[in-house]
Amino acid sequence: MFPFAAPVRDLRFVLEELLEQRSLDLPGFEETSLDLIEAVLEEAARLASEVWAPLNASGDRQGCVRREDGGVTLPDGFAEAYRAYVEGGWNGIGVSQALGGQGLPEVVASSVQEMLHGANMALGLCPMLTAGAIEALAHHGNDDLKATYLPKLVEGTWTGTMNLTEPQAGSDLSRVRTRAVPEGDHYRLFGQKIFITWGEHDASENIIHLVLARKPDAPEGNKGISLFLVPKFLVDDDGSPGERNDVTCASIEHKLGIHGSPTCTLSFGEGDGAIGYLVGEEGRGLNHMFTMMNEARHKVGVQGIGVAERACQHAFAYALDRVQGKNPRAGDESTISHHLDVRRMLLSMRARTDALRALALFCAAELDVARHAEEATERKAAQARVDVLIPVVKAFSTDQAVDIASLGVQVHGGMGYIEETGAAQLLRDARIAPIYEGTNGIQALDLAGRKLQRDGGAALAGLIDDVEVTARALQEQEGLAVLGENLLAGAADLRSAMAIVLEQGSDSERGIDAIQAFATPFLGLAGHVLCAWQMGRAALKASVALAAGSREPFYRNKLAAADYALRQWLPVGRGNLRVIEAGMTSLADFDVAAH
Amino acid sequence: MFPFAAPVRDLRFVLEELLEQRSLDLPGFEETSLDLIEAVLEEAARLASEVWAPLNASGDRQGCVRREDGGVTLPDGFAEAYRAYVEGGWNGIGVSQALGGQGLPEVVASSVQEMLHGANMALGLCPMLTAGAIEALAHHGNDDLKATYLPKLVEGTWTGTMNLTEPQAGSDLSRVRTRAVPEGDHYRLFGQKIFITWGEHDASENIIHLVLARKPDAPEGNKGISLFLVPKFLVDDDGSPGERNDVTCASIEHKLGIHGSPTCTLSFGEGDGAIGYLVGEEGRGLNHMFTMMNEARHKVGVQGIGVAERACQHAFAYALDRVQGKNPRAGDESTISHHLDVRRMLLSMRARTDALRALALFCAAELDVARHAEEATERKAAQARVDVLIPVVKAFSTDQAVDIASLGVQVHGGMGYIEETGAAQLLRDARIAPIYEGTNGIQALDLAGRKLQRDGGAALAGLIDDVEVTARALQEQEGLAVLGENLLAGAADLRSAMAIVLEQGSDSERGIDAIQAFATPFLGLAGHVLCAWQMGRAALKASVALAAGSREPFYRNKLAAADYALRQWLPVGRGNLRVIEAGMTSLADFDVAAH
């Protein structure tokens, strides 16, 4: 087990050099200085590395236990580590000051999240879900609900959950059956929800469940679904948790990974019904939930990057320590880091993690613009980019994170398969991220379907324009021209693929099938091109720093990573255009049942 | 948890149609009829599906336990299931009749292995290791050793192990330190071996360890290593197990998967020394071990395919059962198998599993020719192909198996992450296969280095010629021309890549680095092209059957799988040529330590 060092240097490179601190120029961040951000990153790094990270392996081994009394016991130290996070004021850093948070830019909040997930993904899920609850309440809750619940949620002394899934309703939430029966100013909820992350635990004073349910007279399908707030403890008039509500943890799941995160089946209304309050408008529950889903999806992408970063660190540490084989450059006592086949794995892990991080933070910066820019047109344009980028950040980052964690296992050889080494846990933990918060297939459909079709690809086309600007800048830079050519070719491929998806996707008869068939390769192509773009930008910045006389190996390594990303990673991803060009005949012809 | 159905129909398609039963025409198989093979497959399928498969999940949950007395308790039912295998005579089916086996062709033995690994990979490892011991003894043991140990090993009443790894000697076996001190007609061994698969258990009467060790006066490095046979129980004059030898199980590993397979640390000579016998020549231990490693590597590839097949079956069963979303073709109660994005995953899993199986059995057929053909030149040519194919079968099949098992998890959505579903176990189990029996990096080096450089690529060039023959046949077939074009392009890429690897790999100064840098993408390209070739052949056979009036959906699905393999899978794999063309500058420049 190697220690985790929160990647402050890499995060600063993205925030300060790649993004040129653009979030700080926005209205509302006048008092947010670079010094402040650096202090925040350093302090978060300490919490991540020193408090959260040491519990990652023990939390995995110990897991969560549902007690006879229906409560859930967390792994040793988790409740304390969560409280240290709350006491440090971390839960509110990205929340606006109007709601009681610190109102730091999203790029900073995302950076902190990445460190915490890298340190301990299972624990990081708790505040991730709370953030979703805050978002939904802040946007859709009435003043009473906001006054009662938001301050505690923003502090983190109360935590939040998202109750969507039921046994028959997963990706297809229109099948939700949980009932909400009106009773005076509130409702009584009856039903069962599954896969509720951090659905029950003792680390906070109260748990605020946001629940999708139907009124008895509600129509079938999406339009009958409303959103309800159901607290674990009903809140007394003085604002403190009082009587226990009728929601209980029926069981917890035995999962492949994130053992330190209790995944609960929650029963609502085994007695008189769980008291709940309508959030927002009746029949608009799914829309309200998606408000928070969009940002939660960004956070899941960031989570994948955190785990990928930790996988890199483990693999590098092992490769620098393990003596095996001989290498002409290193002699008899070569560590495996000298063998180029091992170095290929390390560089692949590093280059991809860097690229994913840069893209996720680019998206976070667009989120900052979308929220804070002076001009409405600027905000709108940024939001359009965010809408396109989020499914890519979520799905591409998490698919890649699984692959990076798997490569991390491989670097360790036989030791990688032994649980005590810690590399295998990262693979097990990472594997959930392509599934939850909308499977990666759902993300791809969101991109190739809704997001692309509604604006005819305008937002993505704008991003591709920017990719080409970077490509041409690379072409003009000595030593980087070939990177520019590769990037330009990638951009052209993405444009071609977009044209196919737009044209065939809008077909009234076969459009749905076309989008389904092309969505995943299209998202894969977009992910490769956009990530390669970010590494192209990193190469430009690194060569500026080197030309200015920097001797930091950091910049030379960024050039190597960019070279890898643009010349060894992107070309494989470009194959996705061929996949789309091949059409969907084989998919349509394939007889699954006769298999 | 879905039941496992051994894939007899698919195996028969490969044996009878793709391979045209060519093994049966070889000398020595005169009495092996097609009817006999079909009966063998059906009987093995019964053992796999009915006896081994039901223990797969319980074996994973229960795992192995090292007892206080140093013994290892297997999961419930494993010893009985192994004995059922022995009593059915399965252990000797691929062993020559001269050694007491049934001497069936390797294509049949491999087919049976695939079914058993698909049913229960952890249990399948036991006979896999025994087969290695049989191979090493049969080739290198003296008559006494053969007489004493072979019959029981061939029966399976005794099992075998391979003792290579030590803490400081993994991929680099030249660092082996275990000592073998001569004493009369035998040796006393002292040392510790790790990662010994099925190193201790009670399912057999005796365990025969094959151990790499050094005599006290042996030179450093590879040339000082000899191979020794160390039985768990010394064998009495009457041939029965007698006194316990000085070899003990010090511990067993806590692993990511294959929990039903005890992975042991073995201590040799904690007392007076473990009595062992020299196998083959002094100082030739590594060579002797590689005799059996080569075939063991083929078996690991087959193992990966077995697990991939099971992952397919789980995913298909789930997708055909799970109602979610609406599809224009299937209405309100659509199972997810109707959504083309899900179907893409299913077809990808199926097409790749089919392709890997066909290539592994093609290699097995070449093994049959290499062993049995009348003419020495024919045997030699076949062996040259086997030598090139084995690293591809091992590495490509197992990398793909991990990915297929991971996609299987994805098809299940949230249920895939729950251990009880069974999909996650397949991913955990599969993940060892790219690591053991020589990591996949080592396989790639073997292909791009030793195998390619020693004959200047002649054997692989011959295979590419055959690929092109298939491609041209496809081009002439109505409806398949585009598959032919794709395959031809893939063949051309592989030829170009080979030229680069041969040229740069032979450079006296940078050759080692070039091979290290290019090995993995080269193996990836070769794997894609050779697998696509097999699917091209499958398409030709399927269209013959359909033209002859067959109405089996089986053949239409083979066409869909071939279309997928050649037009959606191969194009992505072809990106590996671009990776090689990009050269190794970024790898060489990357400063791992400064990371």
Q: How far apart are CA A5 and CA A114, in angstroms?
A: 12
**Closest partner CB to A419 (pick from B168, B254, B312):** B254
Amino acid at B480: L
Distance of CA B26 to the CA centre of its chain: 24
Q: Is the minimum CB–CB distance between B262 and chain A shorter than 8 Å?
A: no
- Concatenate the DSSP letters of all residues of A15-81 into one string: IIIISTTGGGGSTT-TT--HHHHHHHHHHHHHIIIIIIGGGHHHHHHH--EE-TTS-EEPPTTHHHH
Q: Which of A503, A501, A504 is nearest to A525 (CA)?
A: A501
Using an 8 Å CB-CB cutoff, list chain B residues near A428: 256, 428
Domain that holds residue B499: 292-586
Distance of CA B403 to the CA centre of its chain: 16
Q: Is A265 helix (H, G, I), strand (E, B) or coil?
A: strand
pLDDT in tens, A114-164: 999 999 999 999 999 999 999 999 999 999 999 999 999 999 999 999 999
Which of A61, A504, A590 would you mutate first to test chain B, the one with the most B CBs within 10 A? A590
Q: Is B102 helix (H, G, I), strand (E, B) or coil?
A: coil
| Domain assignment present for B312 | yes
How many C-beta atoms surround the C-beta of residue A479 within 10 A? 11
Q: How far apart are CA B21 and CA B32, in angstroms?
A: 11
> What's the first-to-final CA gap in chain A, in angstroms?
44
Pure H helices in B47-158: 56-62, 78-87, 106-119, 121-140, 143-155
Average pLDDT over residues A545-553: 95
- 8 A C-beta contact, residue A204 and residue A213: no
Q: Is B329 helix (H, G, I), strand (E, B) or coil?
A: coil
Q: How far apart are CA B447 and CA B576, in angstroms?
A: 15
| Domain assignment present for B190 | no
- Read off the DSSP letter of residue A92: G
The beta strand positions in B500-541, using DSSP E, are none
Q: Which of A256, A245, A275, A568 is nearest to A436 (CA)?
A: A256
CB contact under 8 A, A556 and B172: no
How many C-beta atoms surround the C-beta of residue B183 within 10 A? 12
Give how far A184 is from chain B: nearest CA, Å: 35
Task: Write the CA distances from B191 to A101, B218, B221, B226, B440, integer angstroms.
Answer: 61, 15, 17, 14, 27
Q: How far apart are CA A450 and CA A312, in angstroms?
A: 35
CB contact under 8 A, A441 and B342: yes
Per-residue pLDDT, B1: 63
Amino acid at B89: G
Q: How far apart are CA B558 and CA B539, in angstroms?
A: 6
Backbone φ/ψ region at A334: left (φ over 0), alpha (ψ -120 to 50), beta: beta
Amino acid at A114: E
Name A235's bridge partners.
A241
- Concatenate the DSSP letters of all residues of B240-294 into one string: SEEEEPSEEEEEE--BSS-TTS-EEEEEE-SSS-EEEEEESSTT-HHHHHHHHHH
pLDDT in tens, B268-293: 999 999 999 999 999 999 999 987 78
Q: How far apart are CA A211 and CA A226, in angstroms?
A: 8
Name A73's bridge partners.
A65
Average pLDDT over residues A226-247: 97
Nearest 5°: the CA angle B284, B285, B290 is: 100
Which residues, in sequence order, are CB contacts of B422 under 8 Å at separation 6+? B1, B2, B56, B57, B314
The residues in B 323-342 lying below 8 A from A, measured between CB atoms, are 323-328, 337, 339-342
Q: Which of B573, B576, B587 is nearest to B535 (CA)?
A: B573
Which residues, in sequence order, are CB contacts of A375 under 8 Å at separation 6+? none
CB contact under 8 A, B324 and A402: no
How many C-beta atoms surround the C-beta of residue A34 within 10 A? 12
CATH classification of the domain holding B443: 1.20.140.10
Q: Is the minimum CB–CB distance between A560 and chain B shorter than 8 Å?
A: yes
Per-residue pLDDT, B290: 85
Using an 8 Å CB-CB cutoff, list chain A residues near B493: none
Q: Is the minimum CB–CB distance between A567 and chain B shorter than 8 Å?
A: yes
Does pLDDT of A291 surpass 80? no
B437 has catalytic annotation: yes
| Token pair belonging to B264 | 């042991």
ipTM: 0.97
Q: How far apart are CA B55 and CA B33, in angstroms?
A: 33
Mean pLDDT of chain A: 96
CB contact under 8 A, B324 and A170: yes
Which pairing describes strands A206-214 and A158-163: parallel, antiparallel, or unpaired? parallel
- Read off the DSSP letter of residue A524: H
Q: How far apart are CA B542 and CA B533, in angstroms?
A: 14
For each of chain B's 595 residues, which pLDDT tens digit applies? Answer: 678 999 999 999 999 999 998 899 999 999 899 999 999 999 999 999 999 999 999 999 999 999 999 999 999 999 999 999 999 999 999 999 999 999 999 999 999 999 999 999 999 999 999 999 999 999 999 999 999 999 999 999 999 999 999 999 999 999 999 999 999 999 999 999 999 999 999 999 999 999 999 999 999 999 999 999 999 999 999 999 999 999 999 999 999 999 999 999 999 999 999 999 999 999 999 999 987 788 899 999 999 999 999 999 999 999 999 999 988 788 888 999 999 999 999 999 999 999 999 999 999 999 999 999 999 999 999 999 999 999 999 999 999 999 999 999 999 999 999 999 999 999 999 999 999 999 999 999 999 999 999 999 999 999 999 999 999 999 999 999 999 999 999 999 999 999 999 999 999 889 999 999 999 999 999 999 999 999 999 999 999 999 999 999 999 999 999 999 999 999 999 999 999 999 998 898 899 998 6
Sign of CA dihedral B317, B321, B322, B326: positive
Q: Is the minimum CB–CB distance between A265 and chain B shorter than 8 Å?
A: no
| Inter-chain Cβ pairs, chain A and chain B, closer than 8 A | 277
CB contact under 8 A, A432 and B417: yes
Which residues, in sequence order, are CB contacts of A226 under 8 Å at separation 6+? A180, A212, A213, A214, A215, A218, A278, A279, A280, A281, A282, A283, A284, A285
Q: Is the minimum CB–CB distance between A587 and chain B shorter than 8 Å?
A: yes
Does pLDDT of A479 surpass 80? yes
| Token pair belonging to A132 | 């979703």
- Concatenate the DSSP letters of all residues of A462-475 into one string: HHHHHHHHHHHHHH
Using an 8 Å CB-CB cutoff, list chain A residues near B337: 592-593
Q: Is the minimum CB–CB distance between B420 and chain A shorter than 8 Å?
A: yes
Question: Total structural domains in chain B?
Answer: 1
Average pLDDT over residues A301-326: 97
| Domain assignment present for B558 | yes
| Domain assignment present for B254 | no
Nearest CA in chain B to A343: B587
| Domain assignment present for B510 | yes
Burial of A172 (0-12, 13-18, 19+ CB in 10 A): middle
- 8 A C-beta contact, residue B419 and residue A256: yes
| Domain assignment present for B265 | no
| Domain assignment present for B196 | no
| Domain assignment present for A219 | no
pLDDT-derived band at A1 (thresholds 50, 70, 90) equals: low
Sign of CA dihedral B55, B61, B62, B63: positive
CB contact under 8 A, B424 and A431: yes
**Closest partner CB to B592 (pick from A337, A424, A584):** A337
Catalytic residue among B166, B437, B476, B581: B437
Per-residue pLDDT, B594: 87
Nearest 5°: the CA angle B371, B375, B379 is: 35
Per-residue pLDDT, B124: 98
| Token pair belonging to B374 | 């009348």
Q: Is the minimum CB–CB distance between B511 and chain A shorter than 8 Å?
A: no
Amino acid at B170: G
φ, ψ dihedrals at B198, nearest 5°: 50, 40
Sign of CA dihedral B363, B365, B371, B377: negative
